[in-house]
């Protein structure tokens, strides 16, 4: 992780790629905690602090990567800080308005807390950005079912199926 972060930090200001591929720091939080922090540092409090710094470094190295924002928003939501979680997601969506994945995640958060009409809006924005997204159509179908629009849900799920999403068969 440290090596990948160092590479990302060196390349991030330039937005360039190395000779092989564009560097994008991806990580598995449990892997980072288990192999990099917890194993080398038996103090769990220090390990948690190091993990938080690692998460912040990854986010700074990849400001457009919604997964880090989603992880943080999930933590806030788990702590009961719903407004703060949505502030993080809304700020990211405002910074990256044409990012389909950000709109999907925002919709999933709205769905998770029972704000189904807002979820529908986010999923529709995701579809506007990327009309061929099977996932966006599937998620829209699920949210439309929750706001009692079975015809709209059926149409969205059929679009998802036509784009290769086989999980929509669960809704039949």
Give tens-digit pLDDT for 144-165. 999 999 999 999 999 998 888 8
The pLDDT of residue 71 is 82
| Region 3-30 average pLDDT | 45
User: What percent of the chain lies above the pLDDT cut of 90?
Assistant: 37
Q: Do residues 100 and 129 touch, judged by C-beta distance below 8 A? A: yes
Dist CA 67 CA 70 (whole Å): 5
Give the residue, 64 or 29, on which the prediction is more confident: 64
Neighbouring C-alpha atoms within 13 Å toward the C-beta of 141: 23
Q: Do residues 148 and 159 touch, judged by C-beta distance below 8 A? A: no
pLDDT band at 27 (very low <50, low <70, confident <90, very high): very low
pLDDT tens by residue, 9-20: 555 443 333 443
User: What percent of the chain lies above the pLDDT cut of 70?
Assistant: 61
pLDDT band at 24 (very low <50, low <70, confident <90, very high): very low
Q: Do residues 101 and 71 touch, judged by C-beta distance below 8 A? A: no
CB atoms closer than 10 angstroms to residue 74: 15
The pLDDT of residue 13 is 42
Left if phi > 0, otherwise alpha if psi is -120 to 50, otherwise beta: which for 115? beta
How far out from the chain centre does Cα 55 lie?
A: 14
Mean pLDDT of the residues in the chain = 75
Dist CA 137 CA 135 (whole Å): 5
Dist CA 96 CA 85 (whole Å): 17
pLDDT tens by residue, 71-101: 888 888 888 899 999 998 999 899 888 888 8
φ, ψ for residue 135, nearest 5 deg:
-65, -45
**Helices then strands (H, E): number in the chain?**
9, 0
């Amino acid at each position: 992780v440290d090596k990948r972060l160092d590479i990302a930090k060196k390349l991030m200001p330039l937005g360039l790629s190395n000779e092989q591929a564009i560097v994008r720091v991806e990580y598995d939080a449990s892997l980072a905690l288990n192999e990099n922090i917890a194993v080398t540092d038996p103090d769990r409090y220090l390990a948690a602090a190091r993990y938080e710094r690692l998460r912040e470094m990854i986010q700074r190295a990849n400001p457009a990567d919604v997964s880090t924002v989603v992880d943080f928003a999930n933590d806030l939501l788990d702590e009961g800080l719903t407004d703060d979680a949505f502030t993080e997601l809304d700020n990211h969506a405002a910074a990256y308005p044409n990012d389909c994945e950000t709109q999907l995640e925002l919709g999933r958060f709205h769905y998770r807390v029972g704000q189904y009409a807002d979820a529908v809006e986010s999923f529709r924005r995701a579809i506007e950005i990327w009309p061929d997204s099977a996932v966006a159509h599937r998620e829209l179908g699920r949210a439309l079912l929750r706001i009692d629009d079975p015809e709209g849900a059926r149409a969205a799920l059929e679009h998802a199926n036509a784009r290769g999403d086989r999980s929509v068969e669960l809704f039949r």
